Structure 1
Amino acid sequence: MPKQKQLSSLYCNFLSILTHFAIVFSKSTIEPCSNSDSCNAMVGYTLYTDLKVSEVATLFQVDPIALLTANAIDISYPDVENHILPSHLFLKIPITCSCVDGISKSVATRYKTRPSDTLAMIADSVYSGLVSADQIRDANSISDPSVLDVGQTLVVPLPCTCFNGTDNSLPAIYLSYVVRPVDTLTGIAARYATTITDLMNVNAMGSPSIKAGDILSVPLPACASNFPRYSSDFGLIVPNGSYAITASHCVQCSCGPGNLNLYCTPASLAVSCSSMQCRNSNIMLGNVTMQPSNAGCNVTSCTYGGFSNGTILTTLSISLQPRCPGEHQFPPLVAPPSSPIRDALFAPSPSPSQSGGVGPKTPKSSVIPSTGSLSGLPPANGPSGSTSSAPPLVNPLSSFPSAMILCLFIKFVMSLAL
């Protein structure tokens, strides 16, 4: 065999190996980490069938209230945890991203198998493509994936990234997003208030081309807390346009739309809670008083400082500002949805502008428009449940088309030389 043809064949064999690697590990967002690294993260999930709020929460072992507030869904509705969410609804699911074997992933999710289950169905349907059948098989050391015991509890490793909770040095929380057939990188960037350049940098993409089934890490602008390390909610970060419940359901913190400053008030579900009044004052958590003067505006506020040993920590702040701030604006709440809607309604709010705030002003719910329901598979019956410094994650599929084209080109050139 001529030397040129040998080189051509070796190169193309090498590309075939890379291609195989890309196909096997396509459903992953990869961020190297150390064992002490963890963060709050999110996954984008599309319901495969009608499910109660509590059933979706069970699938991911998350707090149902945390699930609702992450999507700015009003939790004051009666019996909201039993509200039926429609098939094909898109939700952002809050998860904890840990470091497992040097890679960022979430391994807190458990699934109990049913008689008709296969690994492929669990991966592609129940968990909407967030994980592959091979990844479930490897995480559970399953030797024969064709044989699953009914009632077997499986670990479902979910993709996640931390990147120090920042994006371009600004607070951010990362959403693992499964690309749909209709998606473009431009559309995803617009939906989540980011740029194509940023998405390509975060995902180490060589080109803006994406395919259905790819998983992208999408940075969401967020409000970061500065609670002390001994606080149980240390490191709390809330994506722009949403809420978070903390302090044993006693405190509700929101982010935006006016700015990226975390704003916390007593939660609507608060029942048995420690004092939320700032010491040496009659001001309650989240309240602001203003007194205009010739020098400006004297502003006194009571802010949340974390939750420790069953105690809600508060801080009394007094400042002189050039002018009195306006009324605080909360992210708009939506009613618990009863029909599928575009996920744009659950995307982060537009980029914040500078504005002051006082409050609290009770957020009002808006009714979601109906678009008709869709049928799906029967609900899953899962069990009841609950910052790294790293280079950009790798998207192995991004180089696949160009590699094959280059291989064919080399073969063509070598054939002309022979």
Structure 2
Amino acid sequence: MPPLLPTATLLFLLTLGAFLPRAASKSTIEPCSNSDTCSSLVGYTLYTDLKVSEVASLFSVDPISLLLTNAIDISYPDVENHILPSQLFLKIPIPCSCVDGIRKSNSVSYKTRPSDTLSSISSAVYGGLVSADQIKEANSKAELSDPSVIAVGTQLNIPLPCTCFNNTDNNLPAVYMSYVVKDVDTLAGIAARYVTTVSDLMNVNALGSAEIKDGDILAIPLSACASNFPTYAKDYGLVVPNGSYAITASHCVQCSCGPGSRNLYCMPASLAVSCSSMQCRSSNLMLGNITTQQTSAGCNVTSCNYSGFVNGSIASTLSTSLQPRCPGTQQFPQLIAPPTVLPDSVFSPAPAPSESGGIPTTNPKSSVVPSSGAVLGFPPAGGPTGSPSGSSGAGFLTDHSISFPIMLVLGLFVKFVLSFSL
């Protein structure tokens, strides 16, 4: 029996192994073959104090849409210039497109600032949602030969990860959020926080086990309310996550997805902007109005519903139905005051505003929109149920590369030690 390796040798090997490059973080991808876009989200933690307008600019989104997605009250004066605290977690609405055969957001633009590098833009500014290599690849025409020296004012396209899966999860409406895993996260903890299951997360993300690591990017399905607007409507395919709001029709209509609901409810957002008529034809009902009449056969319900933004006009539909019982009062997601400080206990994953331990809430109140103003692996079996076959499988991009020089040195050292021991 050959003698055991000296303790010093074992310690050296362990130390050397600690410095070997690890496999790159995994990211959920969704193959696609059409040019449509869908509603999606990215989970983002502020790296410093930022104005609402600054966060919106980072992701090329409307500040009002950003606030309403997080159920933040927009009726506060000059809310777009409100300063949000560092480490605040936000859900950012971004459009998800089909680019080069996979789903990604191709609408985010970033103008470089002094001391920016591809690495700092990737890890600090965008919180690990995109890698330095992905930014470089998406900007082949920019002068990025030296990623550590970038000219100030360079306009970069930021390809953020996103998924659509037909905006369904198990045949129910859903919006998918791209979430960067933190070192304290577990799959069970993420599932509990976002009201889903470990098995659903594993299926969506093509996970062979429940093991996740810091930097992985998961697609998390969030329960939602879906619209049924015609394809020619500008806001066709509008989907609103449960517990939040969306602004549409040029800031004229505000739609919400109430607590535990799957029914999208839309109403006039403000009278402070110039909007087309919101009255249903052949009726005195305005958009969002509902009348009920109890009869021996049931409850006659008449409602004026929003039907999309068509050719610059607000389309509405008058509908009448007989229901077993009259509907109760419309339930709205609870609005919160624009946050100025973080909760006393900050943990990961950062809770959504309406969840326990999140941003302090205020009593619900009406919101008025100011006039100023989204190695290739194998797909999971079928992907999320309800996704179209052939274009909705998820996979992983994984880099298992290890530096060749380090491996060579390690091999020679082991060979030397073994020969010496024998």
TM over 0.5: yes
Q: 1:150-197, CA deviations, whole angstroms, 9 ceiling, x for partnerless residues?
A: 111111110001111111111111000000111111111011111000
Counterpart of 1:189 in structure 2 is 191
Give the 4+ runs in structure 1 shifted more than 4 A: 385-389, 396-400
Aligned residues of 2:89 and 2:352 also touching (Cα < 8 A): no
Higher alpha-carbon deviation: 268-277 or 183-192: 268-277
Offset of 1:35 from its aligned partner? 3.9
Matched, 1:262 2:264: yes
Change (3 A) 1:193 1:240: same
Offset of 1:294 from its aligned partner? 2.0
Matched, 1:346 2:345: no
> What amino acid is aligned across from residue 316 of structure 2 in structure 1?
T
Aligned ranges 1:235-254 → 2 under 5 Å? 235-254=237-256
Whole-Å separation in 1 of the counterparts to 2:57 and 2:399: 34
> What amino acid is aligned across from residue 155 of structure 1 in structure 2?
N
Q: Secondary structure at the match of 1:334?
A: coil
Matched, 1:73 2:75: no
> What amino acid is aligned across from residue 158 of structure 1 in structure 2?
L
Counterpart of 2:277 in structure 1 is 275
Offset of 1:29 from its aligned partner? 2.3
Matched, 1:393 2:394: yes
Change (3 A) 1:151 1:27: farther
Whole-Å separation in 2 of the counterparts to 1:79 and 1:333: 17
Change (3 A) 1:365 1:289: closer
Change (3 A) 1:317 1:290: same
Q: Secondary structure at the match of 1:61?
A: coil
Offset of 1:295 from its aligned partner? 1.9
Change (3 A) 1:396 1:106: closer
Offset of 1:143 from its aligned partner? 2.7
Counterpart of 1:148 in structure 2 is 150
Aligned residues of 2:82 and 2:338 also touching (Cα < 8 A): yes
Aligned residues of 1:51 and 1:87 also touching (Cα < 8 A): yes
Change (3 A) 1:347 1:192: farther
Whole-Å separation in 1 of the counterparts to 2:71 and 2:295: 38
Change (3 A) 1:249 1:95: same
Offset of 1:288 from its aligned partner? 0.7
Higher alpha-carbon deviation: 175-184 or 256-265: 256-265
Counterpart of 1:407 in structure 2 is none
Output the TM-score relative to the length of structure 1: 0.79
Change (3 A) 1:231 1:117: same
Q: Secondary structure at the match of 2:91?
A: strand
Aligned ranges 1:209-248 → 2 under 5 Å? 209-248=211-250
Greater helix share, 1 or 2? 1
Whole-Å separation in 2 of the counterparts to 1:44 and 1:365: 26
Q: 1:78-134, CA deviations, whole angstroms, 9 ceiling, x for partnerless residues?
A: 111000000000000000111111111112111111121111111101101101111
Offset of 1:269 from its aligned partner? 6.3
Give the root-mean-square deviation of aligned CA atoms. Answer: 2.6
Whole-Å separation in 1 of the counterparts to 2:58 and 2:328: 42
Whole-Å separation in 1 of the counterparts to 2:399 and 2:267: 44
Q: Secondary structure at the match of 2:39?
A: strand
> What amino acid is aligned across from residue 232 of structure 1 in structure 2?
K
Change (3 A) 1:120 1:339: same
Q: Secondary structure at the match of 1:186?
A: helix
Aligned ranges 1:71-220 → 2 under 5 Å? 71-141=70-140, 142-220=144-222
The number of aligned residues is 351
Counterpart of 1:371 in structure 2 is none
Q: Secondary structure at the match of 2:395?
A: coil
Aligned residues of 1:106 and 1:157 also touching (Cα < 8 A): yes
Offset of 1:347 from its aligned partner? 6.2
Q: 1:11-61, CA deviations, whole angstroms, 9 ceiling, x for partnerless residues?
A: xxxxxxxx98x935x353211111413211110000000000000000010
> What amino acid is aligned across from residue 180 of structure 1 in structure 2?
K
Change (3 A) 1:201 1:347: farther
Whole-Å separation in 1 of the counterparts to 2:399 and 2:154: 36
Whole-Å separation in 1 of the counterparts to 2:274 and 2:366: 25
Offset of 1:388 from its aligned partner? 6.6
Counterpart of 1:12 in structure 2 is none
> What amino acid is aligned across from residue 286 of structure 1 in structure 2?
G
Matched, 1:52 2:51: yes
Whole-Å separation in 2 of the counterparts to 1:337 and 1:310: 34
> What amino acid is aligned across from residue 110 of structure 1 in structure 2?
S
Whole-Å separation in 2 of the counterparts to 1:248 and 1:54: 18
Aligned residues of 1:206 and 1:399 also touching (Cα < 8 A): no
Higher alpha-carbon deviation: 106-115 or 38-47: 106-115
Aligned residues of 2:288 and 2:303 also touching (Cα < 8 A): yes
Whole-Å separation in 2 of the counterparts to 1:294 and 1:256: 30
Change (3 A) 1:135 1:347: farther
Q: Secondary structure at the match of 1:62?
A: coil
Whole-Å separation in 2 of the counterparts to 1:168 and 1:92: 22
Q: Secondary structure at the match of 1:317?
A: strand
Output the TM-score relative to the length of structure 2: 0.78
Whole-Å separation in 1 of the counterparts to 2:73 and 2:341: 16
Change (3 A) 1:302 1:336: same
Q: Secondary structure at the match of 1:199?
A: helix
Aligned residues of 1:258 and 1:329 also touching (Cα < 8 A): no
Counterpart of 1:336 in structure 2 is 338
